[in-house]
Amino acid sequence: MSYPRKPAEPLDPQITSIQPGGGDVMEVELAWGKLRRWYLKTFRKGYVEAMSRVRRGTENKAPIEILDPRDVKFYRNLGGYSWDRKDDPFAWRDQLPFARPGLAELLVYGVLSFGWAGIAAWVVTRFDLPVWAKAIGWFIFTGLTVVGLLIVWFFRNPPRRIPEGDNLVVSPADGKLVHIEKITYDEYIGGPAVNIGIFLSIFNVHTNRTPIASRVIKVAYFKGKYLNALKPESAKVNEKLELSIQGTKAPFRPMVVRQIAGAIARRIVCWVRPDEEMPNGALFGMIKFGSRTELLLPDEPGLEIVAKIGEAVKGGSTLLARYPATPGE
């Protein structure tokens, strides 16, 4: 069977940045960006002019002034100005072993955790304190150090080997497969579907990847609650972002990836925009600090759900499902 090609829909008007729910660190980073732009326009006019000459696009669709690629970070999904990778002096940040959208949180929370841990250690070793006070000091040092290490671990972004072959569906997230449900009819899929739920603990990688080579059809954001992401009902009532995609190869299967906030995770990030094409296993977003990701896919005759309930999966590399070969393959 083959599916009709779907037209891309306009971006949800609620989505005004790659992180529609906002956040304190995001506000800090935007404030820093405003100061940085003042500095560049005042003291580095030559750099600003050079970046404007190699800039692509004819319209700034972001709510801020765009001087260099750093200003595009939160507004990439709006379109407008951009730079080729060869003209981007900050492209090296994509090669870091950490998720680029989380670098600010990594810096802020890391400095706070390790900084206060260092202060605690300095106080304990510098002053002649009672035994009980030293014990408390070392306890604080240990706790803050562990928190700092967890933050570093949380924002890691390891490379993944993507399975090759048509009709394969890879996991959109790291975590534990906790839910598989057959649905009689889904409007976007246009027929029966299978919903697969993956729980991401704070120890998992939290980037999201495309399950198939696909084109973005729709990006929709829904405000909501922050229930424990282990609960299936969290998918219905929690804050979430739905990425509706369609395969770029026949039979052009439609699928939906849902990024769902949890009790701790309240920062959903998605930087792709409607009509954008992505290869299989490509990074498209992340959910910060524990969450749930769901994948809705067509339930066709011969569909094999390879992964099992309780299995640990890895985004982009674990095979979730396999469709039978289409005629001509």
Q: Catalytic amino acids?
A: 291
CA distance 313 to 275: 28
Amino acid at 312: A
- Letter for the amino acid at 325? A
- CA–CA dist 3, 75 (Å, integer): 32
Q: How many residues does the chain have?
A: 329
Cα-flanking dihedrals φ and ψ of residue 123, to 5°? -60, -45
What is the b/e burial string over 281-290, where b = at least 16 CB atoms within 10 angstroms of the residue's CB?
A: bbbbbbbbbb
Which amino acid, one-letter code, is at 148? G
Please enumerate in sequence order all residues whose Cβ is within 8 A of that of 267, keeping only pairs 6 or more positions apart, or say none: 19, 21, 23, 26, 261, 287, 288, 289
- Give, in order, the Cα–Cα distances in Å from 30 to each of 27, 71, 72, 209: 5, 9, 11, 26
Nearest to 264 by CA among 312, 229, 222, 313: 229
Which is nearest to 243 in space by CA: 254, 256, 230? 256
Instruction: Give yes or no for a contact between 30 and 36, defined as CB atoms under 8 angstroms apart.
Output: no
- The whole-angstrom distance between residue 155's C-alpha and the CA centroid of its chain comes to 10
Please tell me whether residue 154 adopts helix, strand or coil conformation: helix
Instruction: Give the separation between CA 144 and CA 121, rounded to whole angstroms.
Output: 11
Please, what is the end-to-end C-alpha distance for the chain in angstroms? 14
CA 277 to chain centre: 17
